[in-house]
Amino acid sequence: MTRTLSRIGHEILERHPDARRLALVGIRSRGVPLAQRLARVIAEAAGTEPAVGALDIALYRDDFTSLAAQPITKGTDIVFSIDGRTVVLVDDVLFTGRTVRAALDQLIDFGRPARIELAVLVDRGHRELPIRADYVGRALATSRDEAVQVLVQEEDGRDQVLLTRLVARRAAAGRKPAGKRKLAGKRKPAGRRRPR
């Protein structure tokens, strides 16, 4: 993860050499520590650390009403002007694109940046909106029955990317897991049929 973030940080700096006109805004929760790490990489290379902020998109999500009566928010923290800056949104996983859309809606409420770009640690595909990342740590081919979870030292005590199968989703949808479905379709051997 350290090497990947270093590469992304240098890619950002290549496109935007003036770090003073740059802002990194992490999408809560794990996008925030990733944005802070990228800022340190850029500061080491350029001698100037870009501004760093945090977005909490809970109230901007398109599924807001179905989440909970009182969604838990951690707060947005942007204490600088984004007007005329290049803002790089930072997130851990890019999936359907709906999180990024919500982040764009909220970011525009803060001002008018010169440009908005997107940096993600993992792009797992399955886009539902026409959104793509400008900087990608790693692209993973995944299925809808899999989940990608990013763990970071600052929040979880370790750096790790986990790919897991969503067995619970099949059960919630009323479908039997693949292994059991095969067993349910088997016929009994002909010799064991009861006589009529």
10-residue averages of pLDDT along the chain (196 residues): 97 96 96 98 96 91 51 79 97 96 94 97 97 97 94 96 79 50 41 48
pLDDT at res. 58: 85
pLDDT at res. 168: 57
CA distance 128 to 108: 21
Amino acid at 147: A
> φ, ψ for residue 62 (rounded to 5)?
-75, -10
For 119-155, letters b (16+ CB in 10 Å) and e give bbbbbbeeeeeeeebbbbbeeeebeeeebbebbbeee
- Domains recognised in the chain with CATH numbers: 2-142 (3.40.50.2020)
* Neighbouring residues of 195: CB distance < 8 A, sequence distance ≥ 6: none
